[in-house]
Amino acid sequence: MPVDATPDPYANPMTFGTRLQILRQHRGMTREVLAGLIGMSVEWVKRVEGGRIEEPGLSTVLRCAEALRVRDLSELTGRSMNAPLFQGPGHPRLAAVRAAVDALPFGTSAAAPPRAEHLAARLAVAWQSRHSAPNHREIVGGLLPGLIRDAHLAVQHAETPADWRAAQAVLSETYSLSQFFLAYQPDASLLWRVAERSMVAAAQSVDPHAIGVSAWLMAQAHRDSGPGHYDAADAVTRQALEHLAPLLPDADDRVLAIAGALEFEAGYTAARRGSKGTAWRHWSKASKMAKALPGDYFHPVTSFSQAIMGAHAVTVAVELHAGGESVRQAARADATTIPSRPRRARHRIEEARGYQLDNQPDVAIATLEKAHEAAPETIRYNGYAKSLLLEECSARSAGRRERASRLAVKVGLLAA
């Protein structure tokens, strides 16, 4: 190999510092920028790259991987490990929610056990708070421990089979709410436990809405786990839709909506696979199902509605990596009609991804700013938004780099 050639970062032996330097230079990133992104000093980066500091701890390695947009930690460490780029920092409420989930599901209470209908009312308030509050994770995280505890109490103390099934439906939905809180949190095993418990409780409730919601979230958990889980995601959505199909002629709006949401999820997974025709066929069917709902209807869990289908079209185009189509769909969608703040922010993030695919990075950053205005906690914990921002923090354009850095400070990716 010529003496001036770039070393192969996979060659052995090679130190962590050498790998870090190669990947940093490959990204066109200065030591100053990398230091700011990972919260360390420029001198620290220099010392690591020079071999005067050995490989740091795992948390610092993960920050380096995130800043350099490395998915496989072997690029940095030489050992095969997957970097959880799309997991955010742990929310302050995470420990309390984890403790509530991990607690033994039985106990005694001097107070009368809560009734399922009272818990359902509390859940409705929690869902409304999630949709309306900019700091929705903080609010939901504060409510979940009590809801989880009381939902289990309601199941244990149910006096009739009907009460027991109603309590199981509430317990399932409580775990569904937990999944929204746990998305992008650094505890994948906890997310899976919650998803599985939601499915079990839903099956025991025999409530079609609870079954649909738990299946909708389980399909997402599989899909977001990577290509190896796409078949499982498809199986969950297919089986749930088959279960709901005979009930739809006499179903209420909630069940019709969850069926539509599941139909779109099938299209979402197809888009992840790159199956363009299948993805858009599912989207079209879901759009027809949305049009059968009242114009102002908005499903409290999935956000399925007529208003959301434009946002769903953007997601399909983005997942198919079709930049031009993503931008065209974004122009047709009206984000202002989405009443949920976190869902509106999520849509803005998807729009930003589309603009990035279409080589419009300045518009992408402006769109992320709108996402931050809608729901700061959504963008803070969203891996796609973080990845896009980190990339633009090292852009060649000074103006774009400065704008991205300002937003990165607001989001919490960079120190002020």
- Which CATH number is 58's domain given? 1.10.260.40
Domain that holds residue 344: 319-416
Q: Is residue 109 part of a domain?
A: yes
* Full DSSP string of 184-232: TSS-HHHHHHHHHHHHHHHHHHT-HHHHHHHHHHHHHHHHTT-GGGHHH
What confidence score (pLDDT) does residue 386 get?
A: 83
* Mean pLDDT value of segment 183-212: 94
pLDDT in tens, 308-334: 999 999 999 999 999 999 999 999 999
Are 64 and 132 members of one domain? no
What confidence score (pLDDT) does residue 5 get?
A: 42
Q: Is residue 69 part of a domain?
A: yes
User: Is it the case that residue 405 has pLDDT exceeding 60?
Assistant: yes
pLDDT in tens, 55-75: 887 778 877 887 777 766 777
Are 234 and 379 members of one domain? no
Residue 10, SS3? Answer: coil
What confidence score (pLDDT) does residue 76 get?
A: 80
Q: Is residue 9 part of a domain?
A: no
User: Is it the case that residue 104 has pLDDT exceeding 90?
Assistant: no
Are 160 and 306 members of one domain? yes
Q: Is residue 281 part of a domain?
A: yes
Q: Is residue 128 part of a domain?
A: yes
* Residue that wins the pLDDT comparison between 7 and 58: 58
* Mean pLDDT value of segment 270-291: 96
* Mean pLDDT value of segment 119-147: 94
Give the end of a domain, one of 318, 345, 361. Answer: 318
* Mean pLDDT value of segment 383-388: 84
Are 364 and 278 members of one domain? no
What confidence score (pLDDT) does residue 194 get?
A: 96
CATH of the domain at 105: 1.25.40
* Count of domains forming the chain: 3
Where does the pLDDT of residue 7 fall: very low under 50, low under 70, confident under 90, or very high at 90 and above? very low
Sign of CA dihedral 397, 400, 401, 402: positive
Contact criterion met (CB below 8 Å) for 201 and 101: no
Give the end of a domain, one of 273, 303, 318. Answer: 318
pLDDT in tens, 157-179: 999 999 999 999 999 999 999 99
Are 342 and 248 members of one domain? no
Are 277 and 328 members of one domain? no
Are 286 and 401 members of one domain? no
Q: Is residue 363 part of a domain?
A: yes
* Mean pLDDT value of segment 268-279: 95
Are 312 and 331 members of one domain? no
Distance separating alpha carbons of residues 119 and 139, to the nearest angstrom? 17
Where does the pLDDT of residue 108 fall: very low under 50, low under 70, confident under 90, or very high at 90 and above? low
Q: Is residue 47 part of a domain?
A: yes
Distance separating alpha carbons of residues 51 and 266, to the nearest angstrom? 49
Q: Is residue 10 part of a domain?
A: no
Are 29 and 121 members of one domain? no
Are 105 and 173 members of one domain? yes
Are 66 and 160 members of one domain? no
What confidence score (pLDDT) does residue 22 get?
A: 86
Highest mean pLDDT of the ranges 35-39, 301-305, 381-385: 301-305
Helix (H), strand (E) at residue 45: helix 42-49
* Residue that wins the pLDDT comparison between 4 and 71: 71
What confidence score (pLDDT) does residue 80 get?
A: 58
Mean of per-residue pLDDT scores for the chain: 88
Distance separating alpha carbons of residues 187 and 168, to the nearest angstrom? 25
What confidence score (pLDDT) does residue 12 get?
A: 45
Percent of the chain exceeding pLDDT 70 equals: 92
Is 337 buried (19+), middle (13-18) or exposed (0-12) by CB count in 10 A?
middle
Give the end of a domain, one of 302, 318, 334. Answer: 318
DSSP label at 177? H
User: Is it the case that residue 11 has pLDDT exceeding 70?
Assistant: no
What confidence score (pLDDT) does residue 86 get?
A: 43
Are 236 and 324 members of one domain? no
Where does the pLDDT of residue 4 fall: very low under 50, low under 70, confident under 90, or very high at 90 and above? very low
Q: Which of 60-69, 103-112, 273-282, 330-339 has the lowest mean pLDDT?
A: 103-112
* Mean pLDDT value of segment 349-359: 94
What confidence score (pLDDT) does residue 97 get?
A: 96
